[in-house]
Structures are given as structure tokens and as C-alpha cells.
Amino acid sequence: MASNSDSQSSLIPIFDGDDYDYWKIKIRTVLRAEGLWNIVEKGFAEPEDEADLSEAELKKLESSRCQDARALSKLQMGVTKPIFTRISTASTAKEAWEILEGEFHGDEKVRSINLQSLKKDF
């Protein structure tokens, strides 16, 4: 019988480089369902020095770090090995998400250039 974590990890959609917009919707829904989307979308402020933080601030920081690690883990598990290498240096979920967005979604200009390149190859 599969453990709870095994059954949850099987629910993570896997992105292999094709149909990013489809995967993006699915992984965003998974992250929202687990209360992790906000940390991916907005990130969190990592203080330069923890010495000046109160006990409550330290607890909140640790909670944010834990949420971020869980979200980053979901993103890493949700991509194939070739895609993983692109986000492997990301230290936060927000950073990994921005890498994926930049490479696979891009802005209108990037998509236009890619389309022109594909037309030329065709």
C-alpha cells in the first residue's frame, strides 16, 4: 500500500518541456491546494541578520522557509531531469518559478522570436 506522501507525489503533474501552459495551470492548482502558491508567487523576505529578530519573527521566518522548501520540492518533483537542471540552482520556489516562466512562457517578444525561428526551420 502506498504511503500518503507517495500518493500525493503521484498527483504532481510532470512537465517535460511540452505544453507549459497546461502544466502551469495544473501545478498552480496543486500548490494552491496545499497552501503553497502564495510563497511561490510572492516569495518571502530573507533577513540579512537574524540576531535582531524577535521570537515571533523567528518562528514566522522558519515557517516561511519550510513552506518555501515544500513548494520548491513540488516544483522540482514536477519536472523531468532535463528541465530540473535548469532550476537546480534556484534556492527558492519563487526563483525556480521565474526561471520556468522565463524559459517556457516568456513575454510576447520572446514568443514571437521563437515562433519566427520555428517558421524559418520549417
Helix, strand or coil for residue 79? strand
| Cα 67–chain centre separation | 12
By residue range, what is the domain housing residue 45? 4-121
Cell numbers placing 57: 519573527
Q: How many domains does the chain have?
A: 1
- Quote the pLDDT of residue 2: 41
pTM over 0.85: no
CA end-to-end span of the chain: 49
Q: What is the pLDDT of residues 101-111, one digit of tens each?
A: 998 886 555 66
